[in-house]
Amino acid sequence: MKAEGILETVIYAENLGRIRPFYEDVLGLECFQATVDRQLFFYCGDQVLLIFNPAKTSVARAPGPGVPPAHGALGAGHVCFRAEARELDRWRSHLEQAGIAIEADFEWPGGGRSLYVRDPAGNSVEFAEPRIWNLPRKERTLRGEKLVVASHNRGKLKEIDDLLKPFGVETVMASDLGLPEPEETETTFEGNARLKSEHAAKAAGLAAISDDSGLCVDSLHGDPGVYSARWAGPSKDFALAMRNIEEKLQAVGATTPETRKAHFISALAVTWPDGETRCYEGRVDGTLAWPPRGTRGFGYDPMFVPEGADLTFGEMEPSAKHAVSHRARAFKRLVDDLF
């Protein structure tokens, strides 16, 4: 005989009142049974998560109809929740906003990623892609599709096209289809990327990909951030935008490498005509140089030197930039999920 699946997972906690909000409020699970000081039962997909107080459940109760045998255990345990690649960045952000420390963000050598945190009882809680165990995931692919790049930025189109070309994807720019640029009203990179890809997919009737990216400068409290393109003005004058950043850095005395730290964020969103959207995020850290160097790349590339490099993104060969850029890192996660 062969076991057909896992029906329940059990972990242990002595203070059920303290642990319940973590699973109910932070993780959003439905508690369908609670016995004071003894047990909590949660539905989770097609499984049940049980949390027992070991001091109560390791002691046998008087036998009778419906009274289970003693089967408690001592010590912290481990539970792993299934999460697709596109969901892990959102879980990380959600957990951090809830004040939950991330113990590890781990990329498995054979492919796949896991996040690890601790619940209030010290149990190890993992969120992982099913493929770390070679389990199936929802089938969706972009291979061989025609894809709208929801952007009017030719430099961004070329970079995305270069990344997609090996997978037989045909790209067309939103402006070439006469699609207007929607107003970017969201306050996060993912929000704006999602807004643009959903708008393009609906208007074109094709799968669409969008990138929202920007430069976040530590000494400027994360500015320009999601407003990176707006700092270049209506004419998209990034020489002006870079000069603006430098003037602000000089004004706050940010003249040493330690005070000129910055990072690029790229959020990629893919939307299909049926409305499903998947998002992927990448980040690269570095230092800002002045004056700008190089004529390759676009946007703020000529003033950004990634960690471990001497050249700015504006000086690098495209292949060298693609190997380390924020967009390439987001794209790797997209490829892992969709190709």
Contact in structure between 40 and 31 (CB atoms under 8 Å): yes
In Å, what is the CA distance from 109 to each residue of 80, 103, 310, 326? 18, 19, 29, 21
Which residues belong to the active site? 212
**CA–CA distance, 88 with 279 (Å, rounded to integer):** 10
Count how many Cα atoms sit within 13 Å of the Cα of residue 226 in the half-sphere of its side chain. 12
**CA–CA distance, 302 with 294 (Å, rounded to integer):** 5
Cα radius of gyration rounded to whole Å, the chain: 24
Which backbone phi and psi does 283 adopt, to 5 degrees?
-145, 145
**CA–CA distance, 289 with 293 (Å, rounded to integer):** 8
**CA–CA distance, 216 with 284 (Å, rounded to integer):** 10
Q: Which helix (H) or strand (E) holds 89?
A: helix 85-97
Environment class of residue 210 by beta-carbon count within 10 Å: exposed (0-12), middle (13-18) or buried (19+)?
A: buried
Amino acid at site 103: E
